Structure 1
Amino acid sequence: MKKKCGLNLAEFLPYQLSITSNAVSGVIAREYQARFGLKIPEWRIMAILAERGVMSQRELVAATLMDKVTVNRAVKGLVERSLVRRLPVLKDGRSHGLELNAAGEALYGEIVPAALAMDARLSGILSADERRQLSAMLRRMREAADAISGDCG
């Protein structure tokens, strides 16, 4: 007989967020791998660079909330595929800048319609008002997590 521990995992919010994220990321990962030969971390790096321009790896870690090793592997893969180029040392004298090159920008341009279509398919089950509410709730939860993290550091 199972012992009750006072936690219903199916209703535990961190668990719900994690399994939902894993399910959504899995669908996207399969499509991006099959169509574009990209893993999710590589796509995230490309999207951030397309949106923000030149960034260091440290800045990419902060922007994506991925760990250093994951960002390093993703950048290495993108550089090896000639989608991202390293720029000379940045102002701080320690890190190189990274940016999409012409091939990276072209591939990004191909991916955006697929990304938007996938977003529409996934969020299509929600009304426009529900999507706005969900975005607002997720933003507030990230802010709360950041505040808690700041309290612990």
Structure 2
Amino acid sequence: MAKAQKMEDPAVAEEISRHRLPDGFFAPEASLPHAFTVVANRVSLTLQKMYSERFGLSVVGWRLMAILGTHSPLSAKALAELTAMDQVSISRALEQLVSKRMVSRRVDPSDRRRVVLRLSKKGEVVYGQVVPVLFAAENALVSGLSEDDARTIHRIMRKLIDRSADVLPEDGDWQTVLRDYGYTEGGGQAPVDVGDAATDQPTAAGE
């Protein structure tokens, strides 16, 4: 009942209406998040065929291992911040990784209230076998680009990751984003034309 009442909140409806887009102004399939999802899904599906069949890993499990492979020891909270995933998904994946003995969980000797995570010896072996496939997938993606374009993409992606943490934080809300960055008549920024690149449909969720 509370959810239905919130959906019918006149103030919320009015705020959404103020930022309504003109017909044909913006297509969701031409958005950056959609493009990122398509690319990430295709890479994830390729990787998943390897690490799921060989090691029984989930997508979330591999993502955690990928971070722990170069940043450890870490707490579950730090993992959540680095991956932008929710604590529930991380907790479930960690239980699987610990049970498979790919991740070790220990009390931090410098702070007994803190539990830290790191790859086990077995986890390091698995990590060492999956990373070359990820490296090859990235090389496949940028193989048709010039070196300058490839460097530019990496530089911009780092900026977008940092920017997303600032303007789309975990404790943020959609109404603030809409109010601060939504379209307003006479002041809305026209979307970037990405041509035919946005016409592809996303693959089945593989992230």
CA contact (8 A) 1:90 1:96 kept: no
Whether 2:37 is the aligned partner of 1:18: answer yes
Partner of 1:27: 46
Q: Please, what TM-score do these two structures have when normalized by structure 2? A: 0.63
Equivalent position to 1:110, from 129, 141, 154: 129
C-alpha distance in structure 2 between counterparts of 1:82 and 1:95, whole Å: 20
Partner of 1:59: 78
Tell me by how many angstroms 1:57 deviates: 0.6
**Counterpart residue number, 2:202:** none
Matched, 1:45 2:64: yes
Gaps of 5+ in 1: none
1:143 offset after TM fit, Å?
2.5
Using the size of structure 1 for normalisation, the TM-score is: 0.82
Quick one: which amino acid aligns to residue 25 of structure 1? S
Instruction: Quote the offset at 1:93 in angstroms.
Output: 4.3
TM superposition shift of 1:81: 0.3
Q: 1:82 to 1:125 in 2, by over 3 A?
A: same
How many Å apart are 1:92 and its aligned residue? 4.8
Instruction: Answer yes or no: is the 8 Å Cα contact 2:105–2:117 preserved in 1.
Output: yes
Identity of aligned residues (%): 30
Q: Which amino acid letter does the alignment assign opposite residue 130 of structure 2? A: I
| 1:81 and 2:100 correspond | yes
Please tell me the residue identity of whatever aligns with 1:50.
G
Equivalent-residue separation in structure 2 for 1:146 and 1:53 (angstroms)? 21
- Secondary structure in 2 aligned to 1:32? helix
Taking only aligned residues, the RMSD between alpha carbons, in angstroms, comes to: 2.4
Deviation, structure 1 residue 82: 0.8
More deviation, 93-102/79-88: 93-102
* CA distance in 1: counterparts of 2:141 and 2:101, whole angstroms: 31
Matched AA of 1:12: S
> Structure 1 segments of 4 or more deviating over 6 A?
none
Shift of 1:46: 1.4
In structure 1, the residue matched to 2:150 is 131
How many residue pairs were aligned?
A: 150
**Looking at CA atoms only, which structure, 1 or 2, has the larger radius of gyration?**
2
Secondary structure of the residue aligned to 1:52 is coil
Matched residue SS, 1:53:
coil
Q: When you count helix as a share of all residues, which structure comes out higher?
A: 1
**Partner amino acid, structure 2, of 1:9:** P
Deviation, structure 1 residue 44: 1.8
Which amino acid in the other structure matches residue 32 of structure 1?
Y
Q: Which AA in structure 2 matches 1:86?
A: R
